[in-house]
A and B are shown apart, each in its own frame.
Chain A
Amino acid sequence: MKQAGLSGDGLLVFVKAACETCVMVQPVLRDLARQMPDMTVISQDDPDFPAALDSVDDRSLELSFRHDIEVVPTVIRFRDGQEVARTYGWHRADWEEVSGRQGLAPDLPDQRPGCGSRSRDPGAWEILMERYGDSNIAARPVPLGDWDDDAEACYDRGWTDGLPVVPPTDSRIVRMLGGTSRKPDEVLGEVPPNLTPITVEKVAINAVMAGARPEYMPVILAALDAALQPEATMHGVLCTTCFSSPILVVNGPVARKIGMNSGINCLGQGNRANATIGRALQLIIRNVGGGRPGELDRAVLGGPGKFTFCFAENEQDPSWTPLNVARGFAPDTDTVTLFQGDGIQGFVDQRSRTPEQLTQSLARSLMAVGNWKLCEFTNAMLVLVPEHYAIYRNAGWDRDRITTALHDALRRPGSDVVQGAHGIGEGVSPDRQNDMVNKFWPEGLLIVHAGGQAGLFSAICAGWTGGRFRHESKTVTREIKPWL
C-alpha cells in the first residue's frame, strides 16, 4: 500500500470498495496499472481495495476533498502538474480518452454510473473543509487548548445567554451560511446598543450558537432586519429597566416549511425553530451589539422572553385575517413581525359564550397592561386561541370587528384613570380628567391567532413602556427575503 506522494503527472483514480461500479472496474484498473506506471489509485474506504493493486489510503478523505471528488470512480489526467481531463463513473469511451489507452475491458458494459464520493456524504464536506480547506471565514479565529471544553470556552468568553451554546466551528458556520444566498461579507446594518456593523457571517455564527438550522437563516435575517429598523427602537428595548424584549411572530408558508409551531404550546418550549430563531436574535444583540445584562441592559427584573420569544401565527382558519395581511402584506407573504413586549399574562374565560361577553371580559384583562390606570402608554399583543376565536367567528366577527370592539370597551372616563383617582398615585395626566381616554393607541393592540385547539386560555403580552412614544417606537413587520 502506498502511504503518500502523488505524481503531478499521470492518472489519478478515486475509488471505494462499497461502490459496485468500482468493484466492476477492478480488472480495468489492474490492466491500466500494468500499462501505466504513473497511475495512482486512491481508495476512500479500504486500503486493500482494489485487490492486487497498491492503492493510496484516503480514509481521511483529504485527497478526495482536495481534488473535489463528487463521484467514484473518478479518473483525472494530469499533465505538468495540471489537471487536463476528468471523467467519472464507468464510460468506456471517456476512460479511453482520458487514459489514452484503447480497447479497455471489452467484456464490460459500455457505461455504468458511479456512486457518491464519501467526501460528499451528508455533512462531510464542511468538516473536510474545516480540516483541509480554506473556509474564507473572516471572523477572528479563537483556538482552544487541547483540553479545553468547547461549551465551557464559549461561556467563559461571555458569548452565551447563560445556557450552553453550540460551539461555532468553521464547518457549522459554513453549513449555516448555506441557508442563505446572501454573501457572507454583506453588511446588514449596525446593531444596537453599540451600533456595531454586522455581516451575514456574524449572523450565521450566532445562529450556530443558538442551535438553529441553516433553513432558518432567512427568517433570522428578516428578524434582524426588523430589529435594525429605527422604529423598532432596539436600543431602548435592550437598555430599558423594563421587562421587554423582541417578540417575533412569523407568518407565511415559510413557517410551515421550517416546522414552526403555531399550535399547542407554541409560546412554550419544544420546537427548535421557534426556540432558536428568537435566541439567535438575542445572541446577536448580546454578542455583536454588546447588550449584556447588568451592563447596558438595565432590566430591573428582565423576563424569560429575553432568552427567546418567537412563534408562528396559525393561518389554517380561512376566516381569520393573518397578521401579515393585516399589516399590509399580500396573503402568503413570508414575514417576521417584531413586537416589543413582556412575558405572558394569562387570560382565563371559560364562561363567556357571546362575542359581547368575551370582548368585555378581554377588555377588563387588557386594562391591566402596564398599570390599570395607564393609558396610551404601552401597546399590547393579544394571542387569541382557537376556542376563544371560535366564539367570535361563529357570530361572524372578523379581526377588524374584534379589534374595534376591544378598543371601544377599553375607553374610560378620564376621571377614572387620572393620577390620584381611586387613591392610586399612578395614572394619566390630570388634564385628561374630562376626556374619554383610550387604553391603547389605535394601532397599539396587536391580535395574533395561535395556540392549541382545546382550552379557553388566551394570552396577553404587555408592550414595552417605550410604546408611549407613539411615533418613535412601533411594531415592525419585514418581509422574509427568499433564496435568490
Chain B
Amino acid sequence: MAVTLRDPTGEATSLLRDRTAPLTAFDGKILALMDIGKMRGDEFIDRLEQLCTERGVATRRFKKPTNTRVAPPEMIDEIAGSCDAVIVALSD
C-alpha cells in the first residue's frame, strides 16, 4: 500500500516573480551599499563607496543593527523603494 507522508516544512511558498533585470549602467541610478554587521564589512563598504564616488555613482549606505538577527523589514522596504540595486557585504 502506498504511503502518505506529511510535509514537515513551513509550507510557505514564495511568490513567483520575474527577476529584476541587472543594471546595464549606473547613470542616474542609486546603489545601496548594505553592511550586515559582520566584522570588517564596514571596510568593504567604505572602499566600494569610495570607488563609486570617484565614478560619480550615487550611493546610499545601510547597516543592519546586528548580524545576529534578521534585517528590519522597514530597512528592506526602504532599500527596495529608494534604490535601483544593492550590494550586500555578506561575510567577514
Contacts of B9 in A (CB 8 A): 159, 287-288, 290
- Please report which residues of chain A, range 278-323, place their CB below 8 angstroms from some CB of chain B when the two chains form the complex: 283, 287-290, 298
Binding site for A on B (CB under 8 A): 2-12, 66-70, 90-92
Q: CA A153 – CA B6 in complex, angstroms?
A: 12
Interface window among A111-119, A139-147, A326-334, A444-452: A139-147
Q: CA A236 – CA B64 in complex, angstroms?
A: 12
Closest 7 CB pairs of A and B: A196-B10, A236-B68, A233-B68, A140-B7, A139-B6, A287-B8, A205-B8
Q: CA A239 – CA B12 in complex, angstroms?
A: 19
Q: CA A198 – CA B10 in complex, angstroms?
A: 7
Binding site for B on A (CB under 8 A): 137, 139-146, 148, 150, 153-154, 159, 167-170, 173, 191-198, 202, 205-206, 209, 230, 233, 235-237, 239, 241, 283, 287-290, 298, 466, 469, 472-473
Contacts of A145 in B (CB 8 A): 2
Q: Would you call B70 and A193 a contact (CB within 8 A)?
A: yes
Q: CA A193 – CA B4 in complex, angstroms?
A: 28
Q: Would you call B10 and A202 a contact (CB within 8 A)?
A: yes
Q: Would you call A283 and B8 a contact (CB within 8 A)?
A: yes
Main secondary structure of the interface of B (DSSP, over half): loop
Q: Would you call A197 and B8 a contact (CB within 8 A)?
A: no
Contacts of B8 in A (CB 8 A): 139, 159, 168, 202, 205-206, 209, 283, 287-288
Q: Would you call A146 and B2 a contact (CB within 8 A)?
A: yes
> Which of B2, B12, B67 is in CB contact (< 8 Å) with A236?
B67
Q: Would you call A173 and B6 a contact (CB within 8 A)?
A: yes
Q: CA A239 – CA B90 in complex, angstroms?
A: 10
Q: CA A203 – CA B59 in complex, angstroms?
A: 44
Q: Would you call B68 and A472 a contact (CB within 8 A)?
A: yes
Q: Would you call A167 and B5 a contact (CB within 8 A)?
A: yes
Q: Would you call B4 and A142 a contact (CB within 8 A)?
A: yes
Contacts of B5 in A (CB 8 A): 141-144, 150, 153-154, 167-169
Q: CA A290 – CA B91 in complex, angstroms?
A: 19
Q: Would you call B68 and A473 a contact (CB within 8 A)?
A: yes
